[in-house]
Amino acid sequence: MIKVRVGGVPEHFNLAWHLAMEQGLFKKNNIDIEWVDVPGGTGAMCKALRAGELDIAIALTEGIVKDILAGNPSKVAQFYVNSPLRWGIFVNSNGTISSVNQMPGKKYAISRFGSGSHLMAYVNAANHNFEIKEEDFVVVKDLDGARKSIAENGSQLFMWEKYTTKPYIATGEFRMIGECNTPWPCFVVTVANKFIEQHQETLGKVLDIINQSCLDLKNNPQAPELIISRYGINSEDAVQWFKELEYACQPEMDEAELRLILWRLHKFGIIGRIPALNEVIYTRNLEIVEGLIVE
């Protein structure tokens, strides 16, 4: 049995991993998945990959590409979610900020530098033609840290996945003043170079299993109910999120799309240069892995 340490946010996007583990699909293929919840998001996953604490991370595209170019010894193996991440822009419900036009000069709560909550602030600022400085960010580690910071006015703005954060609107804690969608597929499967070198065949099986699990989940009419019961999202939001969700379900990545993503990351100032594809992308033999058991 080969142990594989996989990290991801404890959110609804990763339900397909948990269902595959519960169904024993990995163990049938001699793979022992050790799932690690990473509430700190992509910034924390980048750190864990660098430290050798994770073999695979389900990370945000913008954050992991930036960190790979900064020396993270990992590669993007495939897209995981092709649809954009829908970021909500949240403020204290009792505060005076009511529109995106009031954002310049305010402090942002972010999980970590290099995280999506940090980098998407630049995308939103570019969309609305204003600038942000590094001193405008306050590191809060996770969603609970952001709630505390916003409540105490240590920061005034917080960007996080819309549906995960909407329950705090219902409780009267936050108000959402806008949205900012990623102009690229939001999540990718990222793999440590060491794991690629030592376990290429196992990696192929892991990707095939999770792609099939994503496909099965997307075709499951009971999926919204699973999301409601496991993640505390209300019925209307769960149905809408699932309708918008587009899993990749395949290892193939279009070269033109990859080049466009890198160009956009550079355009928004997230990466300082446009790299060669082989600097950030791992492409495996796309033939079916022999002996894969998915039933």
pLDDT in tens, 48-66: 999 999 999 999 999 999 9
Residue 177 neighbours by CB under 8 Å, 6+ apart: 89, 90, 91, 97, 98, 99, 100, 102
The pLDDT value recorded for residue 243 is: 92
Q: In the chain, what are the domains?
A: 2-84+184-280 (3.40.190.10), 86-181 (3.40.190.10)
Res 294 pLDDT > 90: no
Averaged confidence pLDDT in the chain: 92
Res 284 pLDDT > 80: no
User: 232 or 52: whose pLDDT is higher?
Assistant: 52
User: 113 or 288: whose pLDDT is higher?
Assistant: 113
- Rounded average pLDDT over 257-264: 94
Place of tokens 């990473």: 38
Residue type, 213: S
- Rounded average pLDDT over 1-22: 96
Between the alpha carbon of residue 179 and those of residues 144, 185, 202, the distances in Å are 20, 16, 39
Secondary structure class of 99 (helix, strand, coil):
coil
**Which H helix or E strand runs over 224?**
helix 223-231
- Which tokens belong to 194? 């060491």
Q: What percent of the chain has pLDDT over 90?
A: 88
Res 220 pLDDT > 60: yes
The pLDDT value recorded for residue 247 is: 96
Burial of 94-103, coded b for 16+ CB within 10 Å and e otherwise, reads ebebeebeeb
Reported as a pLDDT band with limits 50, 70 and 90, residue 190 is: very high
Yes or no: say if 136 and 166 are a contact pair by the CB < 8 Å rule: no
d(CA 22, CA 229): 16
pLDDT in tens, 88-133: 999 999 999 999 999 999 999 999 898 899 999 999 999 999 999 9
Secondary structure class of 168 (helix, strand, coil):
helix
Res 135 pLDDT > 80: yes
Res 41 pLDDT > 50: yes
Instruction: Find, among 244, 241, 238, 243, the residue nearest to 225 by Cα.
Output: 238
d(CA 243, CA 227): 12
Place of tokens 């990959």: 49
- Rounded average pLDDT over 279-284: 87
- Rounded average pLDDT over 173-190: 95
Express the helix, strand and coil content of the chain in percent, nearest 5 each: 45, 20, 35
Q: DSSP labels for 28-94?
A: GGTEEEEEEE-TT-HHHHHHHHHTT--SEEEEEHHHHHHHHHTT-SEEEEEEEE-SPPEEEEEEETT
First to last CA, the chain: 19
Reported as a pLDDT band with limits 50, 70 and 90, residue 288 is: very low
